[in-house]
A and B are shown apart, each in its own frame.
Chain A
């Protein structure tokens, strides 16, 4: 089946190509109970999961669209494909992945990165994970890294104990939608004391037009363990919209540490509405590094609940809003236990009429005495057509806490660019360098490969339309 709509050329976006579709299963457009039953049946799920899905669907229908944040009125739920299975199997070797799909992931550089510096890789295409790997020695340590659907079938007890325990389906309209139709995503379990030194990476690719991708990720980092999970994503550029709505739940047990890095680079026709939340127990550390460069609209506020004493949460957020984009991003931290600490650092860039909003919630419960938090959000506006807003909600109920908040807005000045140009840099190089410097407090936290990737994406965003 050939795709009917030609990709719209938006110039700088390099991942806007699409493959010819050749699905094993593609359920008709739109959402109803029958679609949900079909998804569950294809997956051979236990009854409780079907019941969970159907309940969540009721919640989804009953909840109104959010009336805050970005404009979501363009989403047409009836026009979305909710389930598309692209291949027969989830392969453990790239050689078993169909040629077209394999080529796409080659173009995205995934197998190469896997060879060079990753401990394991999951590759999702449309609704299903089509490739998965984990280094043998890590498997032998008892680490689980597999696609979430498979985890339900193979590790049902562990799965059921944690699934939807941090983000119930009723959390918000889009977590309810995800709960109803979820498919794919990563399930990770790291046993006590095990440190995974190289990152585990998942890559999410949408291919079909009007596709909905609803992966579900669940990470459990046991006591004293460590893992760094990285996710990337891209999609073809189409003239009509797609929807990505994921749910990510993370539990970091006593003394454990989890770092979760996202480089979101959807094409400019994707609504990206994601719920991410982690619970950090005693002395545990949770770090979200959240880079939002692509999509039409993103609403995403990674959250940390500091549940155990001395737990630490960190959110580093970069948003880049170009033409036609609205990045409504930020983070949420709830201090529950005493002596917990958190840092939120947000950097946003708005260009060519793009709009970025920082939306943050810092809540310190009465029980969280002796907690410390620092929130810094800096916005950079490249041109007068662009816009930035800050919505920092702070709610402190405990005594003896130490809270800092700083916000700056700066404009990229012609004189500043001129200074760099007077050293020989072109106008595009000059502005890209200023922007790279602006986000450096965040890129310096990334492993080199991702820092380079992020800077390259920013450079591409800056190119072409300067001045």
Chain B
């Protein structure tokens, strides 16, 4: 079975009748790169948050299996510790908590309750070494480690620090929600190269974007077009190019019947 299986997923805004996801089916395994493209407001971020466990949405139908386990039964923290990661489109600031301390707490949370049931906090020197290596990979200035996470960071800096956290937490499946937006062309290249280095046989990725740009660096195995809460077309990397050339309106024309 694929590592992540999404079947007929429907979701509303919590405590409302507003349906945003209208039946999503998707399968993804470690080692694969999938891209989801779609216009603004089509439900891309909603999908990523529903997968991660955002409290603001209700799943009304369907199921999600992560390594065979029912993901929707788990809290966001448990999903993270199970190996799911979301790079937020709009990351939150955590004033007064340094990048280094925050990521160390996250790393330690992932090391808790190992097979022997005990906590196994990472030793500080080992942690510092890993953090410095990851910062180097993403060309982040070392002094940034002692700044408060995302507090006063530019949009591009926030995205880099999302990927830094991904690098440190080593997820099995990572969802990258518009990681490319806010990055200038150099930053996009650096971050994309970092992502390429991290994705491998032990990690799969769902890259959400509405531009082709990032896909020039990170080549997807599959591309899905999301419109109005449904995947209306799926294909290979060439679909992204086709989309770039013809736009969403044409892609969707005449596809509503073969969509879901």
State the A residues within 8 Å of B (CB). Answer: 414-416, 418-427, 429-430, 433-434, 436-441
B109 pairs with A423, CB closer than 8 A = yes
Binary A-proximity of B62-105 (CB < 8 A = 1, otherwise 0): 00000000000001110111000110100110111100001001
Flag whether B56 is at the interface (Cβ < 8 A).
yes
A439 pairs with B96, CB closer than 8 A = yes
Decide yes or no: A415 and B92 within 8 Å by CB, A423-B80, A424-B169 being known contacts: yes
A419 pairs with B88, CB closer than 8 A = yes
A421 pairs with B92, CB closer than 8 A = no
Which residue from B56, B86, B95 sits with its C-beta under 8 Å from A438? B95
B80 pairs with A415, CB closer than 8 A = no
Flag whether B44 is at the interface (Cβ < 8 A).
no
B102 contacts which chain A residues (CB < 8 A)?
Answer: 423, 433
Decide yes or no: A441 and B53 within 8 Å by CB, A423-B169, A426-B109 being known contacts: no
B109 pairs with A422, CB closer than 8 A = no
Closest residue to B168 on the A side, CB-wise? A423
CA distance A430 to B78 in the complex (A): 13
Decide yes or no: A418 and B94 within 8 Å by CB, A424-B80, A427-B77, A433-B105 being known contacts: no
A437 pairs with B53, CB closer than 8 A = no
B81 pairs with A422, CB closer than 8 A = no
Flag whether B110 is at the interface (Cβ < 8 A).
yes
Interface residues on B, range: 20 to 34
A420 contacts which chain B residues (CB < 8 A)?
Answer: 92, 94
Flag whether B13 is at the interface (Cβ < 8 A).
no
CA distance A437 to B56 in the complex (A): 24
CA distance A416 to B97 in the complex (A): 14
CA distance A430 to B94 in the complex (A): 10
B77 contacts which chain A residues (CB < 8 A)?
Answer: 421-422, 424-427, 430
Chain B nearest CB, measured from A171 CB (Å): 36
A419 contacts which chain B residues (CB < 8 A)?
Answer: 88, 91-92
B95 pairs with A421, CB closer than 8 A = no
Flag whether B52 is at the interface (Cβ < 8 A).
yes
B54 contacts which chain A residues (CB < 8 A)?
Answer: 415, 418
Flag whether B29 is at the interface (Cβ < 8 A).
no
A436 contacts which chain B residues (CB < 8 A)?
Answer: 96-97
A441 pairs with B96, CB closer than 8 A = yes
Chain B nearest CB, measured from A211 CB (Å): 37
Chain B nearest CB, measured from A445 CB (Å): 13
Chain B nearest CB, measured from A466 CB (Å): 12
Closest residue to B148 on the A side, CB-wise? A437
CA distance A3 to B115 in the complex (A): 47
